[in-house]
Structure 1
Amino acid sequence: MTISFRFACGLLLLLGLPGTLRAQATLTPAQYQQDFDYFWTTVNDNYCYFDKKQTDWARVRELYGAQVAGVSTRAQFVRLLENALNELCDNHASLSTNLPDSRRLVPTGTDVWAQFEQGKPVVMAVRPGYGAERVGLRPGMEIVSINEVPVAQALPPLLGRTLKTVDAAARNLALNLALAGDHRTPRQLTVRAQGRLRVLYPDIPTAQLEQRDARSLLESRQLGTVCYIRINNSLGNNRLIAAFDSTLDALANTTGLILDLRDTPSGGNTTVARAILGRFLTQEQPYQRHEFPAEERQFGIRRSTLEIVSPRPRPYTRPLVVLVGHWTSSMGEGITIGLDAMRRATIMGTEMARLNGAITSFRLPNSTFGFNIPTERLYQVNGQPRENFVPAERIAPDPQGTTDTALDSALQRLHAPAKR
């Protein structure tokens, strides 16, 4: 996934939170209309997942196009486009700017992942080291209300107004957007656990999700004879290549490696990904397949490609386990499906972020800020959609939050005799 302005297949533009608005000369109504038309047409012609969405994109033009005449400020226009883009119910589609009360990005700006189970909104995972974990939110708890608004009332404003039907994917995304909150309002979460209600304040005293990540690019340690490397949300930073190489070289004599990708929500770029993948290979292999629907729609000619990884010096050939979870996103997902396709690693953990495809970034001609939408479908080498991948060994998180069950399982596998 190479990164440029026009072509960005990861979430490199979204490392951390989107940029805040900057002062700009007021645009004319005609300029706002031109920008909206460019936005709508670009999405219409290039977005590659309409077939699995319930969105009536023609209705989006009618509904939001009618509101453009009332726009007189940049902030109003940003909010209009946020609402229009939200109609896709796709957390891999975003603006490159935001308002103070814009929703945080999912999964980059979240610390809790929930979904509906038998009609109830249930916490599935909690991001280690952030506010939700700190205040005691745990998997298995039921979300009752968010900022004193019952879940049933909090979701409709986040579901969009042009959906033909509200499917499970749209409901779950709306739930996670509601749990993420916005950039300025401290969250109050009321949960039910073991029949009792608890009120939790994950953003007090500090809204950790608003702070830039100051950690090192990666962390490593030796666990007995096993090497453990954790990537700290840095797959878009080319400096990670040298850091990863030197770390792996220093631990080359270990009997196995655990590569932890569970905190890579901001995506990255294909240069870093291929650098990491190349350290585990001794011959060239494909790691993912790309498909370009816009070209087929325009010309009737189907186009798809396989992306190849080449081996790099000093390959690590010992057994490898990759840990993944709900905050393994975009390029982290790409590395995972690549190692799985190459039969080079055992994948352990939960389902990943399930982001749709590869994104391209476009810029509005007058407002000048950008928007990002999936324009390429991504597949495993065997032809299965990347977003449908699940680990071969699914490891549920510890509901008490006291044990890293996935890491323990990985250590047990690498310390056990090899099975053929």
Structure 2
Amino acid sequence: MNNKFLTKFALTLLIIVNGYSAFAQTKYQKDFNGFWSDINDNYAYFEEQNIDWKKVKEIYEPQAGKISNDNEFIQLLENIFNELYNGHSSLSTNLKTSNRLIPSGSDLYIEKSGNRYLIKDLRKGFGADLAGLKIGMEVTLFNGKPIDEQLKKFLPKFADQYNQKMYQYAIDMLFAGTHDSNREIVATENGKPTTFHPVSYGNRNELFYSKVLNESTAYIKINNSLGSNNLITAFDQAFDSLFQYKNLIIDLTETPSGGNSTVARAIMGRFTDKLLPFQVHEFDEREY
């Protein structure tokens, strides 16, 4: 094999490798541009929130060109959603390292007052409440670190100055925690610091819990799981076990994430033997 052939072979291989790399980058760049354009065309609150969406593109488009796999791309899109500082905007997928969604993943509400972080509200019966945290406590550390520095991850990069809503979004995201790690919160009450370890849903059924209120009334509370198809079988079993009670209360106060049509139709189907207008309308929309 002569040197001229080896040189030609090496050049051909280099072109193939570079071509593959360029293709991968182009794919994610195209996906990024489609994502950015879709929000640009449909998001209704740019003006109200003073979001410089064009600057967001300038910041993140170069990063999209360096993406090499789907996990990196998901992380990039999650960072971009922070620019909207709106917990109701989220992806339909996540990684183990992803932040829990807000408000559905939140079990406490903390506000910054001066240089202090105070607990203003708790979701009764959830992790923070069950761990012993109380309204009025001052939080000083999260996962062993000062809070201010950790908020920077969630504050929008397009802004030079941050308003109260931006800070509140960052606080909510930080204290919701991630899917792959436990939370450690140091809070003080009457000047005494105490360490708490709240878990995601405490010791309750993650999908729902049920109980009998009296001889004629039963109760089912759904724990923000209307988007999980696993709820269908679990709900059916609970419903059958409570069938003898005249009244059934279904509590949806802990379902901030909403749900999907499959779960909704399955639950509604236990209360009717025919299609009703709402179900027909929903079915038609899915068909079209």
TM-score, normalization by structure 2? 0.70
Task: Specify the code of the residue in structure 1 equivalent to 2:27.
Answer: Q
Change (3 A) 1:209 1:105: farther
Change (3 A) 1:217 1:135: closer
Change (3 A) 1:217 1:153: closer
Indicate if the aligned counterparts of 1:147 and 1:187 stay in contact, CA closer than 8 A: yes
1:198 deviation in Å? 1.4
Indicate if the aligned counterparts of 2:139 and 2:187 stay in contact, CA closer than 8 A: yes
What is the aligned counterpart of 2:162 among 155, 161, 166?
A: 166
Residue-by-residue CA offset, 1:364-417 (whole Å, 9 max, x unaligned): xxxxxxxxxxxxxxxxxxxxxxxxxxxxxxxxxxxxxxxxxxxxxxxxxxxxxx
Match of residue 69 from structure 2: 73
Percent of aligned positions that are identical: 33
Indicate if the aligned counterparts of 2:184 and 2:195 stay in contact, CA closer than 8 A: yes
Indicate if the aligned counterparts of 1:103 and 1:183 stay in contact, CA closer than 8 A: yes
Aligned pairs for 1:320-339 (under 5 A) are none
Unaligned runs of 5+ in 1: 1-24, 285-307, 311-420
Match of residue 232 from structure 2: 239
**How far apart in 2 are the matches of 1:273 and 1:90?**
29
What is the aligned counterpart of 1:41 among 37, 43, 48?
A: 37
1:224 deviation in Å? 6.7
1:69 deviation in Å? 2.6
Relative to its length, the structure with more strand (as a share) is: 1
Indicate if the aligned counterparts of 1:124 and 1:140 stay in contact, CA closer than 8 A: yes
What is the aligned counterpart of 2:172 among 155, 173, 176?
A: 176
Match of residue 230 from structure 1: 221
Query: Is 1:157 aligned to 2:150, yes or no?
Result: no
1:178 deviation in Å? 0.7
Indicate if the aligned counterparts of 2:29 and 2:64 stay in contact, CA closer than 8 A: yes
What is the aligned counterpart of 1:268 among 259, 262, 265?
A: 259
1:218 deviation in Å? 5.1
**How far apart in 1 are the matches of 2:254 and 2:78?**
26
Change (3 A) 1:230 1:49: same
Aligned pairs for 1:239-318 (under 5 A) are 239=232, 250-252=244-246, 259-269=250-260, 272=264
**How far apart in 2 are the matches of 1:209 and 1:215?**
6
1:172 deviation in Å? 1.5
SS in 2 for 1:176: helix
Indicate if the aligned counterparts of 1:54 and 1:166 stay in contact, CA closer than 8 A: no
Query: Is 1:99 aligned to 2:95, yes or no?
Result: yes
SS in 1 for 2:153: helix
Match of residue 63 from structure 1: 59
**Structure showing greater relative contact order (alpha-carbon pairs closer than 8 Å, 6 or more residues apart):** 1
1:58 deviation in Å? 0.8
**How far apart in 1 are the matches of 2:245 and 2:114?**
46
Task: Specify the code of the residue in structure 2 equivalent to 1:58.
Answer: K
1:243 deviation in Å? 7.1
Change (3 A) 1:274 1:184: closer
SS in 2 for 1:102: coil
1:192 deviation in Å? 1.7
Comparing 150-159 with 30-39, which one deviates more in the overlay?
Answer: 150-159
1:239 deviation in Å? 3.3
What is the aligned counterpart of 1:221 among 198, 212, 219?
A: 212
SS in 2 for 1:66: helix
Residue-by-residue CA offset, 1:146-174 (whole Å, 9 max, x unaligned): 12322222212211111375232222121
Task: Specify the code of the residue in structure 1 equivalent to 2:232.
Answer: R
**How far apart in 2 are the matches of 1:100 and 1:218?**
25
Relative to its length, the structure with more helix (as a share) is: 2
Unaligned runs of 5+ in 2: 1-19, 280-288
Largest Rg, 1 or 2: 2
**How far apart in 2 are the matches of 1:136 and 1:168?**
28
Match of residue 109 from structure 1: 105
Task: Specify the code of the residue in structure 2 equivalent to 1:193.
Answer: E
Change (3 A) 1:258 1:171: farther
1:258 deviation in Å? 5.5
Change (3 A) 1:231 1:102: closer
Aligned-residue RMSD, C-alpha: 3.8
**How far apart in 2 are the matches of 1:53 and 1:64?**
19
Indicate if the aligned counterparts of 1:192 and 1:198 stay in contact, CA closer than 8 A: yes
